[in-house]
Amino acid sequence: MDSIDDKIIKKIKKAKRGSLFFVEDFLRFGSAKTASKALERLTAKGDISRVSRGIYSRMEIDPIIGELKPSAESIADAIRKRDKARIMATGAMALNALGLSTQIPMNVVYLTDGAARRINLGKRKIVFKKAAPKNLATIGKISGLVIQALKAIGKEKVTEEDINIVLKHLESENEYRLEHDIRLAPEWIRIIMRKALNSEKYE
């Protein structure tokens, strides 16, 4: 009969390398405490890696670099799916994602309607901040990011170049989603985002 360690590693090996796992993924094999201990043993043996507290992976391997650590975005997305929560990148993360800044933030901040928490990734942290539902009501992936990025820049500091970059991204956004999300933005951001829509609607 397979031990809990065998059952867990079998399940992990069925998924593609780089997939993320939580203790909760193995509760059909035993209690949370038993599963945690098994994951610790598999980590100690080098079969899997501990990404952060309670998060494990069988890392992707690059022939030159070696182990590829999962990105902050993939970790945040895995937590979003597990918690059935909504998340939204903010600040420096949103600016970087849209190419408005080359700075990679040390602390990645997401708004969420799930639990507020911090995930330690060595020197970096992922911070989930509890937010009002209206701040997570956007339905367009690009338009939602644009709102957060422009908020981070601020009305007084936004440049023509920033606006042109944002409008270029918004060309790829679904028009229905864009129209929906414009209504959720502060007025000064609405004025910018409307330029991405068919202008005759607003003449």
| Alpha-carbon span 115 to 101, nearest angstrom | 28
Query: How high is the pLDDT of residue 2?
Result: 85
pLDDT in tens, 159-203: 999 999 999 999 999 999 999 999 999 999 999 999 998 643 443
| 64 & 76 share domain | no
Range of the domain at 194: 138-203
Number of domains in the chain: 3
Cα 132 to its chain centre, rounded Å, is 18
Give the model's pLDDT for residue 104.
83
Residue ending a domain, choose from 18, 47, 68: 68
Which helix (DSSP H) or strand (DSSP E) does residue 82 occupy? helix 72-83
Q: What's the whole-model pTM score? A: 0.85
First vs last C-alpha separation in the chain: 73
Determine the average pLDDT of the residues in 42-50.
96
Gap between the Cα atoms of 174 and 171, Å rounded: 8
Q: If you compute the radius of gyration of the chain from its CA atoms, what whole number of angstroms results?
A: 21
- Tell me: pLDDT of 152 over 80: yes
The per-residue pLDDT for range 48-74, each reduced to its tens digit, is 999 999 999 999 999 999 889 999 999
Secondary element (H or E) of residue 164? helix 160-170
Average pLDDT over residues 129-157: 94
Domain boundary among 133, 166, 186: 133
What are the beta bridge partners of residue 126? 108, 119
Q: What is the mean pLDDT of residues 37-41?
A: 97
CA 141/CA 143 separation, integer angstroms: 6
Report pLDDT for 198. 65
Q: What is the pLDDT of residue 103?
A: 87
CB-CB contact of 193 with 145 (8 Å):
no
Give the amino acid at 160: E
> At residue 139, does pLDDT exceed 50?
yes
**Do 184 and 123 lie in a common domain?**
no
Quote the pLDDT of residue 200.
38
Across 112-138, average pLDDT: 93
Q: Is the sign of the CA dihedral 143, 145, 149, 151 positive or negative?
A: positive
Last residue of a domain, one of 87, 116, 133: 133
